[in-house]
Amino acid sequence: MTTVPSPALLAFDGSHIDGTWFTTITDFARATPWLNTPMELWTNLGLVVFAVLMLGGWWTARRRDNAAMTLALAAPVCVVVAFALAEAVKELVAEERPCRSLPHSFFVDACPAPDDYAFPSGHTTVAFATVAALFLLDRRLSAIAALFALVEGFSRVYVGAHYPHDVLASAVIALPVAFLASLAFRRLAVPLVASLRRGVLRPVLTATHVPATHPAR
Protein backbone atom coordinates (compact mmCIF):
# COMPACT_ATOMS: atom_id res chain seq x y z
CA MET A 1 0.00 0.00 0.00
CA THR A 2 1.43 3.39 -1.02
CA THR A 3 1.54 6.07 1.65
CA VAL A 4 0.73 9.60 0.46
CA PRO A 5 3.03 12.18 2.08
CA SER A 6 1.31 14.82 4.16
CA PRO A 7 1.30 18.45 2.97
CA ALA A 8 3.75 19.32 5.75
CA LEU A 9 6.30 16.77 4.45
CA LEU A 10 6.05 18.10 0.91
CA ALA A 11 6.29 21.77 1.93
CA PHE A 12 9.35 23.93 1.28
CA ASP A 13 11.34 24.99 4.36
CA GLY A 14 11.95 28.73 4.08
CA SER A 15 13.76 29.06 7.40
CA HIS A 16 17.12 28.68 5.61
CA ILE A 17 16.56 31.97 3.78
CA ASP A 18 16.08 34.42 6.64
CA GLY A 19 15.21 32.34 9.67
CA THR A 20 17.69 34.35 11.74
CA TRP A 21 15.90 37.60 10.94
CA PHE A 22 12.60 35.94 11.73
CA THR A 23 13.77 34.81 15.17
CA THR A 24 15.25 38.25 15.87
CA ILE A 25 11.82 39.80 15.33
CA THR A 26 9.95 37.11 17.25
CA ASP A 27 12.45 37.43 20.10
CA PHE A 28 11.53 41.11 20.14
CA ALA A 29 7.88 40.02 20.36
CA ARG A 30 8.78 37.78 23.30
CA ALA A 31 10.40 40.77 25.02
CA THR A 32 7.40 43.07 24.42
CA PRO A 33 4.37 41.14 25.74
CA TRP A 34 2.45 44.41 26.12
CA LEU A 35 2.56 44.77 22.33
CA ASN A 36 1.48 41.22 21.51
CA THR A 37 -2.29 41.74 21.74
CA PRO A 38 -2.34 45.05 19.78
CA MET A 39 -0.23 43.49 17.04
CA GLU A 40 -2.36 40.35 16.91
CA LEU A 41 -5.49 42.48 16.61
CA TRP A 42 -3.96 44.76 14.00
CA THR A 43 -2.59 41.98 11.78
CA ASN A 44 -6.15 40.85 10.99
CA LEU A 45 -8.43 43.80 11.73
CA GLY A 46 -5.97 46.20 10.14
CA LEU A 47 -7.17 45.04 6.73
CA VAL A 48 -10.31 47.06 7.41
CA VAL A 49 -8.16 50.20 7.18
CA PHE A 50 -7.33 49.43 3.56
CA ALA A 51 -11.02 48.94 2.77
CA VAL A 52 -11.76 52.31 4.39
CA LEU A 53 -9.03 53.98 2.32
CA MET A 54 -10.56 52.58 -0.87
CA LEU A 55 -13.96 53.82 0.26
CA GLY A 56 -12.36 57.20 0.80
CA GLY A 57 -11.10 57.10 -2.76
CA TRP A 58 -14.62 56.38 -4.02
CA TRP A 59 -16.07 59.17 -1.88
CA THR A 60 -13.73 61.83 -3.25
CA ALA A 61 -14.03 60.48 -6.80
CA ARG A 62 -17.76 61.29 -6.72
CA ARG A 63 -16.72 64.93 -7.16
CA ARG A 64 -14.13 64.21 -9.83
CA ASP A 65 -14.09 63.12 -13.45
CA ASN A 66 -14.95 59.77 -14.99
CA ALA A 67 -11.34 58.57 -15.02
CA ALA A 68 -11.09 59.12 -11.27
CA MET A 69 -14.30 57.23 -10.59
CA THR A 70 -13.08 54.41 -12.82
CA LEU A 71 -9.91 54.14 -10.74
CA ALA A 72 -11.93 54.23 -7.52
CA LEU A 73 -14.26 51.42 -8.62
CA ALA A 74 -11.35 49.41 -9.98
CA ALA A 75 -9.28 49.63 -6.78
CA PRO A 76 -10.85 46.65 -4.96
CA VAL A 77 -10.80 44.63 -8.18
CA CYS A 78 -7.08 45.32 -8.56
CA VAL A 79 -6.51 44.15 -4.99
CA VAL A 80 -8.42 40.93 -5.69
CA VAL A 81 -6.37 40.31 -8.83
CA ALA A 82 -3.10 40.71 -6.93
CA PHE A 83 -4.36 38.54 -4.07
CA ALA A 84 -5.47 35.78 -6.47
CA LEU A 85 -2.04 35.73 -8.10
CA ALA A 86 -0.33 35.60 -4.71
CA GLU A 87 -2.52 32.68 -3.67
CA ALA A 88 -1.59 30.84 -6.86
CA VAL A 89 2.10 31.40 -6.12
CA LYS A 90 1.51 30.21 -2.56
CA GLU A 91 0.19 26.87 -3.79
CA LEU A 92 3.05 26.47 -6.26
CA VAL A 93 5.83 27.22 -3.76
CA ALA A 94 4.19 25.42 -0.82
CA GLU A 95 6.44 26.90 1.84
CA GLU A 96 5.54 25.62 5.29
CA ARG A 97 4.82 28.10 8.04
CA PRO A 98 7.53 29.19 10.46
CA CYS A 99 5.66 27.50 13.31
CA ARG A 100 6.49 24.16 11.66
CA SER A 101 10.03 24.93 10.48
CA LEU A 102 11.08 26.77 13.65
CA PRO A 103 8.80 25.32 16.34
CA HIS A 104 10.96 26.56 19.21
CA SER A 105 10.58 30.22 18.26
CA PHE A 106 8.14 32.54 20.01
CA PHE A 107 4.71 32.81 18.31
CA VAL A 108 1.91 35.22 19.06
CA ASP A 109 -0.42 33.81 16.40
CA ALA A 110 -1.77 30.26 16.37
CA CYS A 111 -0.20 27.81 13.95
CA PRO A 112 -2.45 27.36 10.87
CA ALA A 113 -3.26 24.12 9.07
CA PRO A 114 -0.35 22.34 7.30
CA ASP A 115 -1.73 23.17 3.85
CA ASP A 116 -2.00 26.90 4.68
CA TYR A 117 1.35 27.91 3.24
CA ALA A 118 3.51 30.93 4.03
CA PHE A 119 4.93 32.29 0.77
CA PRO A 120 3.81 34.96 0.01
CA SER A 121 1.76 36.69 2.71
CA GLY A 122 -1.86 37.20 1.71
CA HIS A 123 -2.44 39.95 4.27
CA THR A 124 0.60 41.88 3.07
CA THR A 125 -0.43 41.38 -0.55
CA VAL A 126 -3.77 43.05 0.16
CA ALA A 127 -2.00 45.90 1.94
CA PHE A 128 0.51 46.70 -0.80
CA ALA A 129 -2.00 46.09 -3.59
CA THR A 130 -4.12 48.83 -2.00
CA VAL A 131 -1.14 51.17 -2.15
CA ALA A 132 -0.73 50.57 -5.89
CA ALA A 133 -4.47 50.59 -6.63
CA LEU A 134 -4.82 54.05 -5.07
CA PHE A 135 -1.66 55.53 -6.58
CA LEU A 136 -3.22 56.84 -9.80
CA LEU A 137 -6.36 57.93 -7.99
CA ASP A 138 -5.05 59.83 -4.97
CA ARG A 139 -1.39 60.04 -4.01
CA ARG A 140 -2.22 61.10 -0.46
CA LEU A 141 -4.43 58.08 0.17
CA SER A 142 -1.77 55.88 -1.42
CA ALA A 143 0.90 57.31 0.89
CA ILE A 144 -1.28 56.67 3.93
CA ALA A 145 -1.88 53.12 2.71
CA ALA A 146 1.88 52.66 2.29
CA LEU A 147 2.52 53.52 5.94
CA PHE A 148 -0.12 51.07 7.10
CA ALA A 149 1.16 48.44 4.66
CA LEU A 150 4.61 48.59 6.25
CA VAL A 151 3.02 48.07 9.67
CA GLU A 152 0.94 45.20 8.29
CA GLY A 153 4.01 43.53 6.83
CA PHE A 154 5.95 43.88 10.05
CA SER A 155 3.03 42.55 12.08
CA ARG A 156 2.91 39.37 10.00
CA VAL A 157 6.49 38.56 11.02
CA TYR A 158 6.01 39.84 14.59
CA VAL A 159 3.14 37.43 15.28
CA GLY A 160 5.12 34.59 13.71
CA ALA A 161 2.90 33.99 10.69
CA HIS A 162 5.50 34.73 7.99
CA TYR A 163 9.19 35.10 7.28
CA PRO A 164 10.52 38.51 6.17
CA HIS A 165 10.98 37.18 2.63
CA ASP A 166 7.29 36.24 2.52
CA VAL A 167 6.41 39.86 3.22
CA LEU A 168 8.93 41.23 0.72
CA ALA A 169 7.66 38.88 -1.98
CA SER A 170 4.11 40.07 -1.33
CA ALA A 171 5.10 43.66 -2.02
CA VAL A 172 7.03 42.62 -5.15
CA ILE A 173 3.95 40.83 -6.47
CA ALA A 174 1.25 43.24 -5.33
CA LEU A 175 2.68 46.61 -6.35
CA PRO A 176 3.21 46.04 -10.09
CA VAL A 177 0.19 43.76 -10.55
CA ALA A 178 -2.28 46.13 -8.88
CA PHE A 179 -0.75 49.17 -10.58
CA LEU A 180 -0.91 47.63 -14.06
CA ALA A 181 -4.47 46.45 -13.43
CA SER A 182 -5.41 49.96 -12.33
CA LEU A 183 -3.80 51.42 -15.43
CA ALA A 184 -5.66 48.96 -17.64
CA PHE A 185 -9.02 49.82 -16.08
CA ARG A 186 -8.37 53.54 -16.54
CA ARG A 187 -7.68 52.98 -20.23
CA LEU A 188 -10.49 50.55 -20.96
CA ALA A 189 -13.38 51.12 -18.55
CA VAL A 190 -13.89 54.91 -18.54
CA PRO A 191 -16.71 54.83 -21.17
CA LEU A 192 -18.60 52.21 -19.14
CA VAL A 193 -18.24 54.21 -15.93
CA ALA A 194 -19.29 57.39 -17.71
CA SER A 195 -22.45 55.61 -18.85
CA LEU A 196 -23.16 54.36 -15.33
CA ARG A 197 -22.77 57.87 -13.95
CA ARG A 198 -25.50 59.08 -16.29
CA GLY A 199 -27.84 56.22 -15.34
CA VAL A 200 -29.53 54.91 -12.22
CA LEU A 201 -26.21 54.78 -10.35
CA ARG A 202 -25.69 58.53 -10.71
CA PRO A 203 -26.51 59.27 -7.02
CA VAL A 204 -23.88 56.72 -5.95
CA LEU A 205 -21.20 57.66 -8.43
CA THR A 206 -21.64 61.42 -8.66
CA ALA A 207 -21.93 64.03 -5.91
CA THR A 208 -21.79 67.28 -7.86
CA HIS A 209 -21.10 68.48 -11.38
CA VAL A 210 -18.38 66.29 -12.86
CA PRO A 211 -15.60 68.34 -14.50
CA ALA A 212 -14.18 67.31 -17.85
CA THR A 213 -10.68 67.03 -16.41
CA HIS A 214 -9.07 67.00 -13.01
CA PRO A 215 -5.59 68.24 -12.08
CA ALA A 216 -3.03 65.64 -11.07
CA ARG A 217 -2.56 65.27 -7.36
Exposed e or buried b for every residue in 51-83, given b needs 16+ CB within 10 A?
Answer: eebbebbbebbbebbbbbbbbbbbbbebbebbb
Instruction: Provide the residue ranges of all domains of the chain, joining segments of one domain with +.
Output: 15-196
Q: In one letter, which amino acid is 59? A: W
d(CA 84, CA 131): 17
pLDDT value for 216: 46
pLDDT value for 106: 87
pLDDT value for 11: 58
Q: Thinking of the domain 15-196, which architecture would CATH place it in?
A: Up-down Bundle (1.20)
Mean pLDDT (10-residue bins), the chain, 217 residues: 43 78 92 93 91 93 88 94 95 89 86 87 96 94 96 94 94 96 91 79 67 49
pLDDT value for 5: 43
SS3 content of the chain, % helix, strand, coil (to 5): 70, 0, 30
pLDDT value for 192: 85
pLDDT value for 2: 41
